[in-house]
Structure 1
Amino acid sequence: MSAPASYFRKLSRYYLWFTACFGLFLCALALLESEGMPRIWIGYLFMFATITLYATIGVISRTSNVSEYYVAGRRVPALFNGMATAADWISAASFISLAGGLYLHGFDGLAYILGWTGGYCLAALLIAPYLRKFGQYTIPDFLAERYGGGAGGRGAPVRAIAVGATIIVSFTYVVAQIYAVGLIASRFTGVDFSVGIFLGLASILVCSFLGGMRGITWTQVAQYIIILVAFLIPTMWLSHKHADNPLPQVAYGAVLPKLAQREAELLRDPKELQVRAIFRARAEADAARLAALPQSWEAGRDAAQRRLDTLRLREASLSEIRAAERALISWPRTPGDAAAQWADARGASLKRAQAPEPQATPFPGADRARSDQRRNNFLALVFCLMLGTAALPHILMRSYTTASVHETRVSVFWTLFFVLLVYLTIPALAVLVKYDIYSHLVGSDYAQLPNWIAYWANVDKLNPLIGIADINGDGIVQLAEIAIDGDVLVLATPEIGGLPYVISGLVAAGGLAAALSTADGLLLAISNALSHDVYYKMVDPAASTQKRVTISKLLLLGVAFVAAYVASQKPADILSLVGAAFSLAASTLFPALVLGVFWKRANHAGAVAGMLGGFAVCLYYMVATNPILGGGAQAQWFGIAPISAGVFGVPAGLAALVLASLLTAPPTARSGGMVDHIRAPE
Structure 2
Amino acid sequence: MDSQFLVSLVIILITFAIYIGIAVANTAKQTSDFYVAGRGIPPIFNGMAIGADWMSAASFIGMAGTIMLLGYDGLGYIMGWTGGYLFLAILLAPQLRKFGRFTVPEFIGDRFNSKTALVIAAICTIIISFTYSIGQLSGSGVVIGRLFEIDARIGTMIGVVLIALYSAFGGMKGITWTQVAQYVILIIAYLVPVIFMSFQLTGNPIPWISYGEIVTKMGELDRELGISEYFAPFTNASKWQFLALMFTLMCGTAGLPHVIVRFYTVSTMKAARWSGAWALIFIGLLYFSAPAYAAFARFILMTEVAGSQISNLPTWTQSWVDTGKLQVADNSGDGILQWNELVIANDIVVMATPEIANLGMLVIGLVAAGAMAAALSTAGGLMISISSSFAHDIYYRVLNPQASERKRLFVGRMSIVVATLLAGIIALNPPGAITQIVAWAFAIATGTFFPALVLGVWWKRANAQGVIAGILVGLGVTLAYIFAAKYGGFTILGIIDTGAGVFGATAAFLTNIIVSLATPAPSKELQDEVINLRYPEQMVYKDGEVYLNDGSTK
Q: What is residue 133 of structure 1 aligned with on the other side?
A: 98
1:443 equivalent to 2:307? Answer yes
Amino acid in structure 2 at the alignment position of 1:110: L
- Per-residue Cα deviation, 1:87-140 (whole angstroms, up to 9, x for no partner): 000011111111111111110000000000011111111111111111110000
> How far did residue 476 of structure 1 move?
2.1
Amino acid in structure 2 at the alignment position of 1:263: D
Match for 1:100 among 62, 65, 69? 65
Partner Cα separation in structure 2 for residue 625 and residue 266 of structure 1:
32
How do residues 515-530 of structure 1 correspond to structure 2 at under 5 angstroms? 515-530=375-390
Match for 1:489 among 330, 349, 356? 349
Partner Cα separation in structure 2 for residue 582 and residue 412 of structure 1:
19
Q: What is residue 88 of structure 1 aligned with on the other side?
A: 53
How do residues 297-446 of structure 1 correspond to structure 2 at under 5 angstroms? 355=227, 357-364=228-235, 374-446=238-310
Partner Cα separation in structure 2 for residue 191 and residue 58 of structure 1:
29
Match for 1:654 among 496, 504, 509? 509
Partner Cα separation in structure 1 for residue 81 and residue 392 of structure 2:
29
> How far did residue 419 of structure 1 move?
0.2
Partner SS for 1:467: strand
Q: What is residue 137 of structure 2 aligned with on the other side?
A: 178
> How far did residue 199 of structure 1 move?
2.6
Q: What is residue 673 of structure 1 aligned with on the other side?
A: 528
Percent of aligned pairs sharing the same letter: 41
> How far did residue 266 of structure 1 move?
1.7
Partner Cα separation in structure 1 for residue 256 and residue 28 of structure 2:
25
Q: Which runs of 5+ in 1 are unaligned?
A: 1-35, 149-154, 268-354, 366-372
1:212 equivalent to 2:171? Answer yes
> How far did residue 37 of structure 1 move?
6.3
> How far did residue 83 of structure 1 move?
0.3
Match for 1:562 among 402, 415, 422? 422
Match for 1:262 among 221, 225, 232? 221
- Per-residue Cα deviation, 1:570-616 (whole angstroms, up to 9, x for no partner): 33221121111111110011111000000000001110111011111
Q: What is residue 465 of structure 2 aligned with on the other side?
A: 605
- 1:81–1:402 Cα contact (<8 Å) kept: yes
- Per-residue Cα deviation, 1:295-344 (whole angstroms, up to 9, x for no partner): xxxxxxxxxxxxxxxxxxxxxxxxxxxxxxxxxxxxxxxxxxxxxxxxxx
Partner SS for 1:107: helix
Partner SS for 1:399: helix
> How far did residue 194 of structure 1 move?
3.6
Q: What is residue 59 of structure 1 aligned with on the other side?
A: 24
Q: What is residue 128 of structure 2 aligned with on the other side?
A: 169
Q: What is residue 398 of structure 2 aligned with on the other side?
A: 538
Partner SS for 1:222: helix
Q: What is residue 212 of structure 2 aligned with on the other side?
A: 253
Question: Alpha carbon RMSD of aligned pairs, Å?
Answer: 1.4
- 2:254–2:450 Cα contact (<8 Å) kept: yes
> How far did residue 438 of structure 1 move?
1.2
Matched positions, count: 537
Q: What is residue 594 of structure 1 aligned with on the other side?
A: 454
Partner SS for 2:327: strand
- 2:191–2:289 Cα contact (<8 Å) kept: yes
1:190 equivalent to 2:190? Answer no
> How far did residue 637 of structure 1 move?
2.1
- 1:61–1:210 Cα contact (<8 Å) kept: no
> How far did residue 191 of structure 1 move?
4.2
Match for 1:643 among 498, 512, 524? 498
- Per-residue Cα deviation, 1:38-62 (whole angstroms, up to 9, x for no partner): 2222232233222232222222221
1:111 equivalent to 2:76? Answer yes
- 1:58–1:206 Cα contact (<8 Å) kept: no
Match for 1:623 among 483, 486, 511? 483
Q: Which moved more, 1:573-582 or 1:415-424?
A: 573-582
> How far did residue 192 of structure 1 move?
4.4
- 1:57–1:207 Cα contact (<8 Å) kept: no
- Per-residue Cα deviation, 1:328-364 (whole angstroms, up to 9, x for no partner): xxxxxxxxxxxxxxxxxxxxxxxxxxx3x42111123
Partner Cα separation in structure 2 for residue 111 and residue 184 of structure 1:
25
Change in Cα spacing, 1:261 to 1:191, as seen in structure 2 (3 Å) is closer
Partner Cα separation in structure 1 for residue 189 and residue 234 of structure 2:
32
Partner SS for 2:343: strand
Partner Cα separation in structure 2 for residue 214 and residue 204 of structure 1:
16
Q: What is residue 159 of structure 2 aligned with on the other side?
A: 200
Partner Cα separation in structure 2 for residue 626 and residue 176 of structure 1:
17
Partner Cα separation in structure 1 for residue 395 and residue 327 of structure 2:
50
- 2:28–2:172 Cα contact (<8 Å) kept: no
Partner Cα separation in structure 2 for residue 107 and residue 569 of structure 1:
29
Partner SS for 2:204: coil
Q: What is residue 549 of structure 2 aligned with on the other side?
A: none
Partner Cα separation in structure 2 for residue 449 and residue 624 of structure 1:
41
- 1:384–1:583 Cα contact (<8 Å) kept: yes
Match for 1:70 among 30, 35, 43? 35
> How far did residue 252 of structure 1 move?
0.6
What TM-score do you get using the length of structure 2 for normalisation?
A: 0.94
- Per-residue Cα deviation, 1:222-273 (whole angstroms, up to 9, x for no partner): 1101111111111001101111111101111122111111111122xxxxxx
Q: Which moved more, 1:588-597 or 1:557-566?
A: 557-566
Q: What is residue 244 of structure 1 aligned with on the other side?
A: 203
> How far did residue 434 of structure 1 move?
1.0
- 1:160–1:534 Cα contact (<8 Å) kept: yes
Partner SS for 2:238: helix
> How far did residue 442 of structure 1 move?
1.9
Partner Cα separation in structure 2 for residue 180 and residue 92 of structure 1:
5
- Per-residue Cα deviation, 1:642-663 (whole angstroms, up to 9, x for no partner): 2211111101000000000000
Partner SS for 2:295: helix
Partner SS for 1:88: helix
1:505 equivalent to 2:378? Answer no
Partner Cα separation in structure 2 for residue 666 and residue 520 of structure 1:
39
- 1:207–1:219 Cα contact (<8 Å) kept: no
Partner Cα separation in structure 1 for residue 14 and residue 185 of structure 2:
12
> How far did residue 624 of structure 1 move?
2.1
Partner Cα separation in structure 2 for residue 436 and residue 210 of structure 1:
43
Change in Cα spacing, 1:466 to 1:192, as seen in structure 2 (3 Å) is closer
Amino acid in structure 1 at the alignment position of 2:421: F
- 1:583–1:643 Cα contact (<8 Å) kept: yes
Partner Cα separation in structure 2 for residue 656 and residue 238 of structure 1:
51
Q: What is residue 116 of structure 2 aligned with on the other side?
A: 157
Q: What is residue 18 of structure 1 aligned with on the other side?
A: none
- 2:269–2:536 Cα contact (<8 Å) kept: no
Amino acid in structure 1 at the alignment position of 2:506: P
Match for 2:444 among 584, 597, 612? 584
Partner Cα separation in structure 1 for residue 144 and residue 154 of structure 2:
8
Amino acid in structure 2 at the alignment position of 1:123: L
- 1:51–1:203 Cα contact (<8 Å) kept: no
Partner Cα separation in structure 2 for residue 165 and residue 54 of structure 1:
30
